[in-house]
């Protein structure tokens, strides 16, 4: 791990009051070198209780969710509902550049810690609030969750087989979409602050962001299809199997996406030119979508003759995109993943050594990567309380005892 290497955002400090809605936002900033301090209640972030756990034993330091989304951050405990805690938080805000929080609308204001109050302490502070539906509006107090947000995003209705129930996305993609859109605004605000000096308040609705992060084309496709004569497919059908077909092969499954006639011709070559695939109508993308079941029945005879890697490589050579369908293990062990060193060594004081998925990009001018594992609960209390805020070790013990830290 490369704690000292400079990143593009090194020098900025971010206070993280973010649960699973915003953990990925502050992780993005931390990966780029920002000093992100996760501020947890003394009982710990609820994300520490999300299964599964390392070794399958529930433990505050072993949640895979927490280990994944809070790596590269430091962590302190602080009770924001305690008057002394509030005072300490304000001191932290004074020295911070960014605050990301995910409490329900109105909660920060109820503590006297809303943007209006905090910008009086630090006019340059950039505060982003990520909530399920937004700070205002008829649904502002509604509840969300990964599956509910995905359903409302207008993309879940397209998931799965045509006759089955729509299927939830694995992971927390709606939250990640909101986190990404929050991070864009935070970094833009830092950039603008450089010339203008002032901070900013950013209001992020998971509900609004999820459809844009997942598939912003749904509404335009609908809007374009309202006119008669527009091309199929109607956007709300569950067409994954038809548009991005999956076929069995000798040792697993592959996915083929031939969009253009040229790519279809290449695919026919990949499969050694079966006559039955040479009918001219198969060259048309929309014809293939409309007759996906027939095509599937024809195709499997030919795809079954090859292995995943054979088809992957033959597709590349002929000019049609084919990929193996990997499970996570297949991905982790693929030669590309290894060549790019996507998984890096992490050493966590409780979990021990393990491999961790790095950020999805490599930077040449500054370091972007893993600097430290997710913090243990209160791991950096001494560094921050004693090293920066002027408390003694005895003060810290007293704050701990009083339920403040």
Residues 75-134 touching other proteins, rule: CB under 8 A, are 115, 133-134
CB of 61 to other proteins, least distance (A): 12
Name the nearest CA neighbour of 168 among 183, 182, 178, 153.
153
The first and second tokens of residue 4, run together, are 């000292």
Contact residue for other proteins among 60, 169, 386, 389 (CB under 8 A): 169
Task: Report the site for other proteins in 282-301 (rule: CB under 8 A).
Answer: 285
Please identify, using beta-carbon distances, which residue of 189 and 379 lies nearer to other proteins.
Answer: 189
Please identify, using beta-carbon distances, which residue of 297 and 339 lies nearer to other proteins.
Answer: 339
The label of the residue with tokens 């905090």 reads 118
Contact residue for other proteins among 4, 194, 281, 390 (CB under 8 A): 194
Tell me: does residue 61 bind other proteins (CB under 8 A). no
Contact in structure between 236 and 160 (CB atoms under 8 Å): no
**Per CB under 8 A, which region of 35-43, 202-210, 382-390, 397-405 contacts other proteins?**
202-210
Please identify, using beta-carbon distances, which residue of 191 and 398 lies nearer to other proteins.
Answer: 191
Is 353 strand, coil or helix?
Answer: strand
Contact residue for other proteins among 84, 107, 124, 203 (CB under 8 A): 203
Tell me: does residue 5 bind other proteins (CB under 8 A). no
Contact in structure between 25 and 15 (CB atoms under 8 Å): no
Distance CA 200, CA 238 (A): 41
CB of 52 to other proteins, least distance (A): 6
Distance CA 374, CA 351 (A): 11
**276-303: b or e for each residue (b if 16 or more CB lie within 10 Å)?**
ebeeeebbebeebbeebeebeeebeebb
**Per CB under 8 A, which region of 88-96, 103-111, 142-150, 378-386 contacts other proteins?**
142-150
Contact residue for other proteins among 109, 121, 323, 386 (CB under 8 A): 323
Distance CA 283, CA 258 (A): 9
CA distances, 250 to each of 254, 266, 304 (Å): 10, 20, 5
Task: Report the site for other proteins in 238-277 (rule: CB under 8 A).
Answer: 238-241, 243-244, 246, 248, 253, 255, 257, 259-260
Contact in structure between 369 and 24 (CB atoms under 8 Å): no
Please identify, using beta-carbon distances, which residue of 91 and 145 lies nearer to other proteins.
Answer: 145
Tell me: does residue 144 bind other proteins (CB under 8 A). yes
Tell me: does residue 19 bind other proteins (CB under 8 A). no
Contact residue for other proteins among 22, 324, 369, 375 (CB under 8 A): 324
Element holding 268 (H helix, E strand): helix 261-270
- DSSP for 229-262 reads TPPSPPTTS--HHHHS-EEEETTEEEEE---SHH
């Amino acid at each position: 791990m490369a704690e000292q290497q400079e990143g593009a955002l090194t020098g900025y400090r971010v206070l993280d009051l973010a649960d699973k809605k915003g953990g990925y936002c502050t992780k993005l900033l931390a990966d780029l070198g920002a000093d992100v301090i996760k501020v947890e209640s003394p009982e710990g972030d609820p994300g520490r209780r999300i299964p599964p756990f390392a070794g399958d034993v529930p433990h505050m330091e072993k949640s895979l969710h927490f280990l994944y989304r809070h790596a590269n951050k430091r962590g302190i405990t602080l009770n924001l509902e305690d008057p002394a805690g509030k005072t300490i938080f304000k001191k932290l805000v004074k020295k911070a550049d960014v605050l990301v929080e995910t409490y329900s609308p109105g909660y920060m204001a109820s503590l006297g810690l809303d943007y209006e109050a905090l910008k009086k302490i630090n006019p340059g502070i950039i505060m982003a609030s990520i909530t399920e539906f937004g700070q205002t509006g008829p649904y502002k107090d509604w509840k969300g969750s990964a599956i509910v947000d995905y359903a409302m995003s207008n993309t879940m209705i397209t998931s799965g087989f045509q006759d089955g129930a729509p299927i939830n996305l694995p992971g927390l993609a709606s939250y990640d979409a909101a986190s990404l859109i929050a991070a864009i605004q935070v970094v833009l605000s830092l950039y603008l602050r450089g010339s203008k000096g002032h901070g900013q308040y950013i209001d992020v609705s998971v509900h609004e962001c999820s459809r844009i992060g997942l598939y912003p084309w749904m509404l335009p496709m609908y809007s374009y299809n309202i006119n008669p004569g527009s091309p199929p497919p109607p956007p709300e059908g569950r067409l994954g199997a038809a548009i991005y077909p999956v076929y069995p092969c000798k040792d697993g499954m592959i996915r083929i996406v031939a969009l253009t006639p040229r790519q279809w011709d290449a695919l026919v070559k990949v499969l050694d030119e079966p006559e039955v695939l040479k009918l001219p109508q198969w060259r048309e993308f929309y014809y293939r979508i409309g007759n996906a079941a027939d095509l599937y029945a024809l195709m499997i005879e030919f795809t079954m003759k090859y292995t995943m890697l054979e088809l992957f490589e033959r597709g590349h050579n002929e000019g049609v995109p084919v990929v193996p369908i990997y499970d996570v293990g297949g991905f982790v062990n693929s030669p590309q993943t290894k060549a790019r060193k996507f998984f890096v060594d992490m050493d966590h004081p409780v979990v021990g050594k393990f491999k961790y998925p790095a950020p999805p990009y490599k930077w040449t001018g500054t370091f972007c990567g893993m600097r430290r594992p997710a913090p243990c609960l209160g791991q950096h209390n001494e560094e921050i309380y004693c090293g920066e805020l002027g408390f003694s070790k005895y003060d810290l013990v007293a704050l701990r005892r009083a339920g403040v830290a």
